[in-house]
Amino acid sequence: MRPAEVPAAAGFVVELSEADQVATFTLNRPAKRNVQNPLTWEWLTRTVNALPGTVRVLVVRGEGPSFSAGLDRAMFTPQGIEGIPSVLDLAQADHDEASAEIAGYQEGLAVFARPGLVSVALVQGHAVGAGFQLSLACDVRIAAEDAQFSMAEVNLGLVPDLGGTKRLLELVGYSRAAEICLTGRRVDAAEALRIGLVSTVVNAAELAAAGERFVSRILKQPAAAVTEIKALLLAASGRSQAEQERAEREAQHRVLRTLVGLDE
């Protein structure tokens, strides 16, 4: 899917490079610190679904000084955003209708979990609320020194509802995840590195280059092995040790067959 096919209201563009092996998603509303809305998540789903099968890596970045400052506050106004249920609309909907609507939002971030796609978030400045959760949906986070992460939903009387609570807990553990989510405080880049929230911290001027180095390393690895390893890691927390070892055996046999040309 090419950039022209994503509506401006979705707030991002996508470009393909490296012989269509890399898709770069750029949040492109810097004047509003790349805030998101339900169209963002809907079109993330549509766009990833439409990517050519050659794509192996997804890069997620924000234009300007911030990665993403979270949900567009227009969602809280009576007029809302045209064509999108406002926060008031969701509150007034019956439970099943509201739940179905939010499930659609969650799907937009869940698409990054596909085993055949390795995703990396390049985070500078604010990664707040939905911005934080978008970065958490990626496999790897590389942060600039000025990055500030915050699960700020609690400050608005809301809960994080884009899958971020589980992703954060699995990265940093229950106690620290609880403290971050329940207080809504900001986590700077140095702390994020220390607690395992990000893999690397670089100078802001080096963020793009750090992302390029990561992409290059992934593209040098055999695609079948990368896909199998990501699938193993994603499922590991829900399996016993014995179950994970069985899954590793089965994955190893599949890649061995690929390596010798039996399954191509």
pLDDT tens digit string along 183-199? 999 999 999 999 999 99
User: E strand or H helix at 119, and its extent?
Assistant: strand 118-123
Q: Has residue 79 got a pLDDT over 90?
A: no
For residue range 14-40, what is the model confidence (pLDDT) as tens digits? 999 999 999 999 999 999 999 999 999
At a CB cut-off of 8 Å and minimum separation 6, what does 2 contact?
A: 14, 16
Domain that holds residue 250: 223-259
In this structure, which amino acid lies at residue 23?
A
**Is residue 22 one of the residues assigned to a domain?**
yes
* Cα separations in angstroms, 25 against 16, 66, 72: 9, 14, 18
Structural domains counted in the chain: 2
Q: What pLDDT does residue 83 have?
A: 84
In this structure, are 124 and 178 located in the same domain? yes
Mean pLDDT of the chain: 95
Phi, psi of 201 (to 5 degrees): -125, 130
Instruction: Give the residue-averaged pLDDT of 92-120.
Output: 96
For residue range 125-140, what is the model confidence (pLDDT) as tens digits? 999 999 999 999 999 9
In this structure, are 44 and 83 located in the same domain? yes
**pTM > 0.85:** yes
Strands (E) in 5-106, as ranges, are 12-17, 22-27, 57-62
Which sign, positive or negative, has the C-alpha torsion 91, 93, 96, 98? negative
For residue range 241-250, what is the model confidence (pLDDT) as tens digits? 999 999 999 9
Q: Using CA atoms, how far apart are residues 264 and 35, in angstroms rounded to an integer?
A: 42
Q: What pLDDT does residue 3 have?
A: 46
In this structure, are 134 and 39 located in the same domain? yes
**Is residue 264 one of the residues assigned to a domain?**
no
